[in-house]
Amino acid sequence: MGKEMMKRNKGWTIVFYTLFIILIISSLYMLYSIALLNNIENKLRLIGAIVIILISILLIFLSVRSIIKHRKKSRIVLTIIMILYSTILFFAAFNIHKVIGKLGNVSTTVTTYSASLVTLKDNKAETILDIGSADIGMLKDVNSVDGYQIPKQVMKKQKLSNKVIEYEDYISMIHDLYEGEIDYIFLPSEYVVRFRSFEGLENIEYETKILHSEDKDVKNTSLKRGNKIDKPITILLMGVDSEKENIKGASFNGDSLMLLTFNPTTLNTTILSIPRDTYVPIACFSGNRKNKITHAAMYGESCMIDTIENFTGITIDYYVKINFKGVVKLVDALGGIEVDVPIEFCEQDSNRNFSNLICLNKGLQTLNGEEALALSRHRKTVNDFVRGQNQQLVVKGLMNKAKSIRDIDTIYKLLDTISDNMETNMSTNEILSFYDVAKDILEKSKETTSVDELLGMQRLYISGFDAMIYDYSTVGNGGTRMTLYNFVPYNGSMKDVTKAMKVNLGLENPEVIKTFSFDVDEPYTEIVIGRGNYNDATLNLLPNFVGYDKSKAINYGNQHGIKVTVNYVTSAQNKDQIITQSLHSGMDITEISKSTGLTITVSDGKGTNNDDDEEDVLPNFVGKLYNGTTLSNFNEQHKTVRIVLVEVKEGEKGYDSTKRGQIISQDVKAGTDISELVGKTVTLKYIAPGKDNEEEDDENSGSLAGDNNNNQTGENDNDDGEDSEEKEEDENELPDELNP
């Protein structure tokens, strides 16, 4: 009877069979999608899966029954219901997959490295096959993927038997390329972005060319992964100031570093901005040579993570790389964020275009994407610490706005922006496990509107002092051989900061405050951990001994465990007077090899004065006043050499308000024989003095070598494009304890 009825209703039977198939497919698709939502409402997902299965079975049963009973109205109603139900299942499953797919783009299990064989632009070679038997430079660190492993891989594939010259660091290798000591070197393929901020390498993009490039995907095994974030974690936020719109393959530059600890149980968060010039041991430098922390970025996120772990003693569980350009889209997707802007300023736009300045007034206001990025980047009128605090304000503004999102369109806009401009080693399941945290935040947001209160956000601060340190180590024979600005953290400040992080991570117990006092007439001032009166500096810089008696150097060496070797030469200078020293003043004495130590050249006092024998060379004008006696005396004595002064104005590359009145660069190397410059031009760039600089002393050359008592807080005014400040220490005086 049933079969006869189905034959009689063949058309409806075909329709229902088709709908059955669609219903089964949509149900299975939805069940699979629900299974992907790991760590989210497990009980609800199980109940939902059971309900979907039961509804699907019921619809199929009722459809078969309507055919057998020949009920036309039931058929029509059931057809409409099954179509709507299948459509809803497909739509829901599709959106779940879309969200997970976007999150999957953010999560990465591999890091893509790329290395290139580089030579100077005027080299006749056009491909790797043209290099002949010339020597090739590469890093000696076998753990460096783009500095050693890929170069070795390329040489093997190309069957190159060229002699390999191994280097401690990239800068030394690039220096030798420019000096003609080597013709071909292997560098990371994005070397232009990494190194053009270094002094002398501003035009590296136009002065070099790539002959061959090769990539390698490396699985990320340095950080442990789990399935759910239910314990306190540490996250390193790293800024990528990329020229690209997409973060994939972009190299982060280490200018923006934030270390966060988060406790999912208490919802407490600590946030620490690490200044880019912080002087720390770099994990991937030979012998862990100390340097400004931003230079760890040259070797990738693994080097930065290891460096910060060694520096703080805090294990980093996850990293998140954020493209600064993505901040613009992220803020705009949210419809702007509310921020209490602490200062009035103007800054270049996201394309670093000064012709389109972004200007903000002080006070509470809603910022669009360009304005939020300008606040995050600005450092012209502030220091790295203030910039770090401003970046924290933007982060909090984003979090405050994000917790109020309700519509699906905004969510998709955010996911599109995040997937293109953010990268993390968290798995998709780990990211999804933040659902419980978000749920708690939404529930508590009914009681308060401030993210500070919701997350118990605690700002941390690193106190320290400024130091000009000559970047070189005889231990590993590495360094830029330039005097660089560095920020040296106080040990006490770091101890307090790391303790606060460990307390939030549950690794240490908090100290119980037994007494508390307040004054109703005075507003409460937030205590910022790490910011205070510390004075436990441990930095010792090598003085300039030239012109002093040899006993000064010998006594200093004995006091600091440095071997001092004395070489006598015949000279008219006073007997035992130091003429030269083998190590540059301003070196960190911990970077001096105990086996080599310091060698000083000392006068035996037996020579005679002979002006014809005196070396006549071009002085180092950098750091001197553009209208000072050093330059005027040179002009008076050497009229055959033409000196041209070029002013660097505010807004132009190289401008630094802290160097007003000073010469900041010269196009001819100091020490060049004057006889080679007869009839030639030497160009000196300088910054005009401000009103407060007009009556400065003649030689304003910065801090003295060995001065370790500058109780500063990192107030450095370097431009983003200037990674280093080179200053010769020829005229430095000795510290007080070495003065005769």
pLDDT for residue 703: 32
Give the strand order in the sheet containing 578-581.
564-569, 598-603, 578-581
pLDDT for residue 159: 93
Checking if the pLDDT of 304 tops 50, the result is: yes
Long-range Cβ contact pairs of 733-738 (< 8 A, separation 24 or more): 733/544, 733/704, 734/543, 734/544, 734/545, 734/548, 734/552, 734/704, 734/706, 735/543, 735/704, 735/705, 735/706, 735/707, 738/543, 738/548, 738/552, 738/556, 738/706
- Give Cβ neighbours of residue 332 (< 8 Å, ≥ 6 apart): 368, 369
Are 387 and 294 within 8 A, CB to CB? no
φ/ψ region of 632 (left if φ > 0, alpha if ψ in -120 to 50, else beta) reads alpha
Separation between Cα atoms, residue 194 and residue 250, nearest integer Å: 10
Tell me which of 80-84, 242-246, 401-405, 676-680 is least confident: 242-246
> Which one is predicted more confidently, 628 or 23?
23
Average pLDDT over residues 325-333: 83
The token pair at 614 is: 């005196």
Tell me which of 239-248, 407-416, 434-443, 536-545 is least confident: 239-248
pLDDT for residue 27: 92
pLDDT for residue 253: 65
Checking if the pLDDT of 733 tops 90, the result is: no
Long-range Cβ contact pairs of 406-411 (< 8 A, separation 24 or more): 408/95, 410/333, 410/334, 410/335, 411/99
- Give Cβ neighbours of residue 441 (< 8 Å, ≥ 6 apart): 267, 403, 454, 455
pLDDT for residue 728: 37
Surface-to-core class of residue 95, CB atoms within 10 Å of its CB (0-12 exposed, 13-18 middle, 19+ buried): middle
C-alpha distances in angstroms, 512 versus 509, 515, 516? 9, 9, 11
Separation between Cα atoms, residue 548 and residue 373, nearest integer Å: 52
Tell me which of 102-116, 216-230, 405-419, 511-525 is least confident: 511-525
C-alpha distances in angstroms, 67 versus 79, 143, 598? 12, 71, 100
Separation between Cα atoms, residue 497 and residue 271, nearest integer Å: 10
The token pair at 722 is: 């200037």
Domain spans of the chain, in order of start: 2-106, 112-219, 233-337+368-455
pLDDT tens-digit readout, 122-145 = 999 999 999 999 999 999 888 888
Tell me which of 61-75, 195-209, 336-350 is least confident: 61-75
pLDDT tens-digit readout, 401-439 = 877 776 777 777 788 888 788 888 888 888 888 877 777
C-alpha distances in angstroms, 411 versus 98, 110, 433? 11, 27, 17
Residues of the chain above pLDDT 70, percent: 81
Surface-to-core class of residue 554, CB atoms within 10 Å of its CB (0-12 exposed, 13-18 middle, 19+ buried): middle
Q: Is 686 helix (H, G, I), strand (E, B) or coil?
A: strand
Average pLDDT over residues 60-67: 81
C-alpha distances in angstroms, 693 versus 283, 624, 665, 698? 41, 13, 19, 11
When pLDDT is cut at 50, 70 and 90, the band that residue 512 belongs to is: low
The token pair at 533 is: 């009166």
Checking if the pLDDT of 320 tops 70, the result is: yes
**Within 10 Å of residue 318's Cβ, how many Cβ atoms?**
22
The backbone torsions φ and ψ at residue 555, rounded to the nearest 5 degrees and listed phi first, read -65, -40
Strand partners, 681: 642
The backbone torsions φ and ψ at residue 359, rounded to the nearest 5 degrees and listed phi first, read -115, 135
pLDDT tens-digit readout, 457-501 = 788 889 999 899 998 888 877 787 788 889 999 999 999 999 999
Separation between Cα atoms, residue 387 and residue 372, nearest integer Å: 12
Q: H or E stretch including 23?
A: helix 10-36
When pLDDT is cut at 50, 70 and 90, the band that residue 225 belongs to is: low
Average pLDDT over residues 706-714: 40
The backbone torsions φ and ψ at residue 291, rounded to the nearest 5 degrees and listed phi first, read -165, 175
Separation between Cα atoms, residue 135 and residue 471, nearest integer Å: 27
The fold for domain 112-219 equals D-Maltodextrin-Binding Protein; domain 2 (3.40.190)
Checking if the pLDDT of 629 tops 50, the result is: yes
Separation between Cα atoms, residue 385 and residue 351, nearest integer Å: 24
pLDDT for residue 516: 56
The backbone torsions φ and ψ at residue 627, rounded to the nearest 5 degrees and listed phi first, read -120, 25
- Give the helix ranges, DSSP H, for 313-368: 324-333
Are 640 and 678 within 8 A, CB to CB? yes
> What CATH code would you report for 233-337+368-455?
3.40.630.190
Checking DSSP bridges between strand 257-263 and strand 268-273, what pairing results, if any?
antiparallel
Are 392 and 459 within 8 A, CB to CB? yes
C-alpha distances in angstroms, 203 versus 176, 207, 721? 16, 6, 12
pLDDT for residue 83: 92
Average pLDDT over residues 292-314: 89
> Which one is predicted more confidently, 362 or 354?
362
Residues of the chain above pLDDT 90, percent: 29
pLDDT for residue 674: 83
Mean of per-residue pLDDT scores for the chain: 80
Alpha-carbon torsion (71, 76, 77, 81), positive or negative = positive
When pLDDT is cut at 50, 70 and 90, the band that residue 445 belongs to is: low
When pLDDT is cut at 50, 70 and 90, the band that residue 507 belongs to is: very high
Q: Is 542 helix (H, G, I), strand (E, B) or coil?
A: coil
pLDDT for residue 662: 86
Are 729 and 669 within 8 A, CB to CB? no
> Which one is predicted more confidently, 520 or 365?
365
Separation between Cα atoms, residue 122 and residue 144, nearest integer Å: 29
When pLDDT is cut at 50, 70 and 90, the band that residue 89 belongs to is: very high
**Within 10 Å of residue 482's Cβ, how many Cβ atoms?**
20
> Which one is predicted more confidently, 172 or 148?
148
Separation between Cα atoms, residue 475 and residue 533, nearest integer Å: 34
When pLDDT is cut at 50, 70 and 90, the band that residue 551 belongs to is: very high
pLDDT for residue 49: 92
| Half-sphere exposure at residue 271, Cβ-oriented, CA atoms within 13 angstroms | 22
C-alpha distances in angstroms, 119 versus 26, 138, 153, 166, 739? 58, 13, 19, 16, 48
Average pLDDT over residues 579-607: 90
pLDDT tens-digit readout, 642-699 = 898 988 888 788 888 778 888 999 998 888 888 788 778 899 998 887 543 333 333 3
- Give Cβ neighbours of residue 525 (< 8 Å, ≥ 6 apart): none
C-alpha distances in angstroms, 124 versus 163, 203, 211? 20, 20, 11
pLDDT for residue 1: 42
Separation between Cα atoms, residue 613 and residue 628, nearest integer Å: 27
Q: Is 544 helix (H, G, I), strand (E, B) or coil?
A: coil
Q: Considering the entire predicted model, what is its pTM?
A: 0.71
Separation between Cα atoms, residue 273 and residue 257, nearest integer Å: 6
